Each structure stands twice: as structure tokens, then as C-alpha cells.
């Protein structure tokens, strides 16, 4: 649900390894209502995921619900920092909705780290259509590092042992 089937990976991108035995709404495979997003790391340090807004994601008729758009943006921001071995939680999220995100129209969310201030990490993200790269929404976020103990627990919980 919510995955873009057959969407081409970008040159140089690598699929992130994520354990599939958990219920995370964004990336978990066990959540029957979840988005089941798959993440890729780009050669520029960004992380992206494709999303196909489905009827279950609808707000107004034919348009994805803003809360689910926000969820996709938040999720890809979380994975861009965890891909850099940083485990943090969302402290603040500022979303801009630019154009309607239409049901059935494939989109790509991309996030990148703007600045690492130690305990605080600034992250940005955009959601664009796959077909014409039209900007649909974007967000900036402030993430706060968790304790080293929690980081180790989450690392083992969500990233497969290699």
C-alpha cells in the first residue's frame, strides 16, 4: 500500500536496509494500514522514497490528506538522519503545502541534512511528482538526538545485522 511499483531508482542510489518485522506506520511491513515506504540513499547524502497516494490516503475528494503528506515528509527526514547513524526524534516540523497531492499520481519525497548542531539536527524535505518533478509540498524539521542507549536499541531494532 502506498508504494510506487516499477519506479526507477536514481543512478548511484542504494536501497536502505530496513528490518521488516515491526509496525512503524511509515516503513514497517507488519502494519496493515501503514505506508510501507522503501528508502534509497542518493550519492549526494539525501534519502528518498516514492509514494503512490491511494484512496485510503484521501482527504478531500481526489486529494491526499495533509496529515499523511506530513507523515511521508517526516518519515523520509527521519531516515536521512538515521542513514548517517544519527538517531533522533522530530522536535519541530514546518510543512508548506504548495499544490494538491492527487490520489493515484506517483510522487517522490527527498530529504537532506541542512546542519548538524550536535544534539539538534536541521533537515529539509520536498515532495515532487515523479512525472514532471512538480513541487507539491516541502518541510523543514528540527530533530533532537536520543540518548546513546536508545540509539543503540533503535539501531538494532530497525537496521538488519549485516
Q: Give me the CATH number covering residue 29.
A: 3.10.129.10
CB 65 within 8 A of CB 58: yes
Q: Report angle CA 153, 155, 156 to the nearest 5 degrees.
A: 70
At residue 80, φ and ψ (nearest 5 deg) are -70, -35
Read off the pLDDT of residues 122-154 as tens digits, 9 standing for 90 and up. 999 999 999 999 999 999 999 999 999 999 998
Q: Where are the alpha helices (DSSP H) in the chain?
A: 66-82, 148-158
In a domain, 43, yes or no: yes
Question: If you average pLDDT over residues 33-59, what whole number do you get?
Answer: 94
Number of domains in the chain: 1
In a domain, 126, yes or no: yes
In a domain, 120, yes or no: yes
Per-residue pLDDT at 21 = 78
Question: If you average pLDDT over residues 57-73, what whole number do you get?
Answer: 96
Per-residue pLDDT at 18 = 79
The alpha carbon of residue 37 and the mean position of all alpha carbons in its chain are separated, in whole angstroms, by: 7
Per-residue pLDDT at 22 = 77
pLDDT band at 5 (very low <50, low <70, confident <90, very high): very low
CB 91 within 8 A of CB 50: no
Task: Tell me the pLDDT of the chain averaged across its residues.
Answer: 91
In a domain, 59, yes or no: yes
In a domain, 149, yes or no: yes
In a domain, 2, yes or no: no
Q: Which residues, 6 or more positions from 133, have their beta carbon under 8 angstroms from its beta carbon?
A: none
Residue ranges making up the domain that contains 31: 14-158
In a domain, 1, yes or no: no
CB 142 within 8 A of CB 121: yes
Per-residue pLDDT at 115 = 98
In a domain, 63, yes or no: yes
Amino acid at each position: 500500500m502506498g508504494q510506487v511499483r516499477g519506479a526507477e531508482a536514481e543512478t548511484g542510489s542504494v536501497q536502505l536496509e530496513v528490518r521488516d518485522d515491526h509496525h512503524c506506520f511509515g516503513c514497517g511491513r507488519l502494519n496493515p494500514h501503514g505506508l510501507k515506504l522503501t528508502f534509497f540513499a542518493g550519492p549526494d547524502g539525501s534519502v528518498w522514497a516514492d509514494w503512490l497516494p491511494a484512496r485510503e490516503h484521501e482527504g478531500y475528494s481526489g486529494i491526499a490528506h495533509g496529515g499523511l503528506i506530513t507523515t511521508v515528509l517526516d518519515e523520509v527526514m527521519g531516515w536521512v538522519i538515521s542513514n548517517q547513524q544519527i538517531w533522533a526524534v522530530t522536535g519541530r516540523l514546518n510543512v508548506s503545502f504548495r499544490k494538491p497531492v492527487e490520489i493515484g499520481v506517483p510522487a517522490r519525497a527527498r530529504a537532506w541534512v541542512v546542519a548538524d548542531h550536535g544534539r539538534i539536527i536541521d533537515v529539509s524535505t520536498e515532495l515532487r511528482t515523479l512525472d514532471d518533478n512538480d513541487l507539491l509540498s516541502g518541510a523543514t524539521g528540527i530533530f533532537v538526538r536520543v540518548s546513546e542507549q536508545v540509539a543503540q536499541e533503535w539501531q538494532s531494532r530497525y537496521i538488519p545485522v549485516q
